[in-house]
């Protein structure tokens, strides 16, 4: 719950852009932060090891969806985790090029921004982006880029990557990494079919391309598994993590197969990265996730998804409801047949929900994003559904849709 300066109370289904995984100021996380803050605030893990960081590295090695021994690099944000992944992939393979996906969001520093292809405004005025990045279509199954149907889909959206990019634009043996979100976040909370990740993983392996799975938004229990990769059996070479990992304290992690992360001392570093207070918060967060919150995300997420599908049956503005766990997107359309994007209506639904005490965000051009803290109860999910019902109804009435 969030209370503003006027005493208005809101049910928070935004979680500071999918960050407050354990809710706001969970007592166990706060206690871990206070305890660490009393001992010391900073030492720079670049030069001196401290126990909290080592313990977190061990924890990462145990939980990330990477085979074999794992090493982690600690930064302060998602974008830094992606920067480190880009640098590591180039360093290790000696290859210059990168592949990312249309609609993706990987951050705003120049390297990560060059992968990001979500909204032009995020790139406008900052060009040229770093050279050597190729973008392929993502599996947006509601608007399949190749006109396939889910029943017969063989991830033909990847034909463009395999038959055009790799044939006409870049030789795959010069590609260092394919960077992919297992579920696309900022791009609209798009859930690809199993075939997409199977084919992508096979393609990467076939050409010796490192698979970088960006779990910044989809990781840390949000989808009802610790990592969204687990829904697909994805085994990455490098995984990027941030947002929910430390319940709101800044922390970014680049985890990689140990054999890949063998860069020499001094090759890459961060002064503040993995600071002890953030690491302590992360260790407490992971304990809570394992104890009950990953499971809660799965159970309450399924309940919320079911409730949203019931709303879709009554609200013509809802074109598609999709998600896993508590990572849920609701795509709004003016007409279900033409799928015309209800962009301004989406913004108004967010506003109407806000007025009624529910915090949600947008994702992509016309989807609502529900990314609540993983402590959400079924009763709170029902409150959110009730408010959304009213908010969508109000917008439909004013748009002449109801």
Contact positions vs ligand PLP (CB under 6 A): 17, 77-79, 82, 105-107, 181, 185-186, 214, 216-217, 242
- Least Å distance, CB 131 to ligand PLP, is 21
- Least Å distance, CB 48 to ligand PLP, is 25
- Least Å distance, CB 248 to ligand PLP, is 12
CB of 243 or CB of 334, closer to ligand PLP: 243
How crowded is the C-beta side of 113, counted as CA atoms within 13 Å?
A: 14
CB of 217 or CB of 270, closer to ligand PLP: 217
CB of 18 or CB of 388, closer to ligand PLP: 18
Residue nearest ligand PLP (C-beta atom): 78
CB of 17 or CB of 299, closer to ligand PLP: 17
CB of 186 or CB of 396, closer to ligand PLP: 186
CB of 129 or CB of 386, closer to ligand PLP: 129
- Least Å distance, CB 347 to ligand PLP, is 19
- Least Å distance, CB 38 to ligand PLP, is 27
- Least Å distance, CB 250 to ligand PLP, is 8
C-alpha–C-alpha distance, residues 92 and 256, integer Å: 11
């Amino acid at each position: 719950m969030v209370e503003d300066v006027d005493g208005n109370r809101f049910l928070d289904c935004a979680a500071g852009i999918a960050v407050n995984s354990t809710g706001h100021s969970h007592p166990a996380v706060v206690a871990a932060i206070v305890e660490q803050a009393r001992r010391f605030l900073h030492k720079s893990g670049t030069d001196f090891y401290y126990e909290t960081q080592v313990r977190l590295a061990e924890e990462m090695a145990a939980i990330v969806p990477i085979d074999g021994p794992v090493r982690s690099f600690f930064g302060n944000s998602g974008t830094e985790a992606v920067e480190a992944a880009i640098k590591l992939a180039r360093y290790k393979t000696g290859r210059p090029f990168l592949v990312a996906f249309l609609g993706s969001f990987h951050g705003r520093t120049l390297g990560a921004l060059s992968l990001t292809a979500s909204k032009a405004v995020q790139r406008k005025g900052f060009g040229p982006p770093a050279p050597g990045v190729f973008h392929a279509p993502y599996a947006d199954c509601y608007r399949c880029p190749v006109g396939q149907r889910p029943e017969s889909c063989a991830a033909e959206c990847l034909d463009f990557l395999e038959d055009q990019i790799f044939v006409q634009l870049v030789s795959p043996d010069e590609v260092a990494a394919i960077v992919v979100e297992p579920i696309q976040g900022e791009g609209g909370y798009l859930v690809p079919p199993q075939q997409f990740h199977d084919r992508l993983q096979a393609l990467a392996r076939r050409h010796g391309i490192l698979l970088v799975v960006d779990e910044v938004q989809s990781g840390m229990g949000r989808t009802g598994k610790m990592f969204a990769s687990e829904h697909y059996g994805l085994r990455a070479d490098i995984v990027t993590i941030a947002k929910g990992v430390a319940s709101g304290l800044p922390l970014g992690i680049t985890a990689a197969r140990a054999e890949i992360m063998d860069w020499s001392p001094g090759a890459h570093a961060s002064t503040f990265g993995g600071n002890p207070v953030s690491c302590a918060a992360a260790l407490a967060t992971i304990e809570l996730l394992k104890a009950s919150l990953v499971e809660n995300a799965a159970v309450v997420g399924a309940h919320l998804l079911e409730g949203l599908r019931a709303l879709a049956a009554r609200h013509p503005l809802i074109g598609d409801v999709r998600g896993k766990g508590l990572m849920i997107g609701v795509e709004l359309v003016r007409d279900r047949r033409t799928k015309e994007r209800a962009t301004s209506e989406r913004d108004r639904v967010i506003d109407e929900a806000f007025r009624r005490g529910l915090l949600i965000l947008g994702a992509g051009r016309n989807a609502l994003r529900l990314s609540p803290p993983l402590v959400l109860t079924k009763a709170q999910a029902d409150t959110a559904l009730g408010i959304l019902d009213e908010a969508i109804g109000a917008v439909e009435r004013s748009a002449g849709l109801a």
